[in-house]
Amino acid sequence: MSGGDDIFISPEEMIDHNGDLHNLENFMSIFIAYNQKNIAEAKDWDNWPEWELCLTEIKDDLHFEQEDDSEEVIQERKDWLALMQFIHDSEAVSLNGYTITIQGNHGTKFRFELGLADEVWLFPGEIEAHLQNIKDIVTRRHLPRSTSYAMFRGIEHSLGDYWVCPEHVPKYGAKSTAFTHDNVLGIERNCEVNFPADTLDVIKKCIADTEIWIAEFERDLQAIERAEWMEENWPGGIPDQDWEYQ
């Protein structure tokens, strides 16, 4: 950087190109390095990294800006910039290694990791465990691209197992659940939007700490209804579907 940008550090100096870019803090540092001026002037981030994202697991067609980029690719870059800026600016969101932690407005904490290769939300600790497993097996420095098919997917919440719906939630507040036997949200990807836009939407829902519980409680009610139907119609299990069928 030169001229009026002399007060800023060169991205080449800020980014650890040999570091662990699976780590979300390091991943975000790439975007921060290229948007220092926007940060200083409190503007929307709009500078896409020149080449460093090819060192990460973000989708290949996003790496380098091209004149013939499709509208979808252009929009997805904008959404990644918006996601990174929101995480950077929000007091409710923090990063620790691979994990995003979100403090809900009503006291709940949510945590998850970004599985960039397959564009999924992973349970905290999955990426580190996966990478350590690879190191133990191949004992080499340069790790292959990670895949999340064998990793546990989900967003952790702090209410614990068999949680009671928080009291502030309309209609369902203070009611008990039946099939929520762990502390994982059952949110699924919205395939109508790209991954960064969907992730930002989920983060905002976690911060709001209300709508997300309505959806979870209604999912539990559906599971109860399904179990009651099964007990009434197929108490021994459905042939050719249930291994416990008798």
As a whole number of angstroms, the distance between CA 5 and CA 154 comes to 42
Per the listing, tokens 């949200």 go with 185
As a whole number of angstroms, the distance between CA 85 and CA 223 comes to 37
Least confident of 90-94, 134-138, 158-162: 134-138
User: What does the longest C-alpha to C-alpha distance in the chain come to?
Assistant: 78
Res 1: pLDDT: 42
Sketch the domain layout of the chain as residue ranges: 1-89, 92-246
Rounded to the nearest integer, the mean pLDDT of the chain is 88
Question: Tokens in use for 8?
Answer: 């800023």
Of all helices (H) and strands (E), which one includes residue 155?
strand 155-157
Percentage, residues of the chain above pLDDT 70: 85
* pLDDT above 90: residue 85: yes
Question: Tokens in use for 171?
Answer: 């209609």
Res 245: pLDDT: 46
DSSP string, 78-144: HHHHHHHHHHHH-TTEEEETTEEEEE-TTS-EEEEEEETTTTEEE-TTHHHHHHHHHHHHH--SSPP
In terms of pLDDT, which residue wins out, 139 or 187?
Answer: 187
* pLDDT above 90: residue 84: yes
* pLDDT tens by residue, 31-49: 999 999 999 999 999 999 9
* pLDDT above 60: residue 115: yes
Of all residues in the chain, what percent are helix, strand and coil, respectively (each to 5)? Answer: 40, 10, 50
By the 8 A CB rule, do 172 and 165 touch? Answer: yes
* pLDDT above 80: residue 152: no
* pLDDT above 50: residue 2: no
Q: pTM for the full model?
A: 0.86
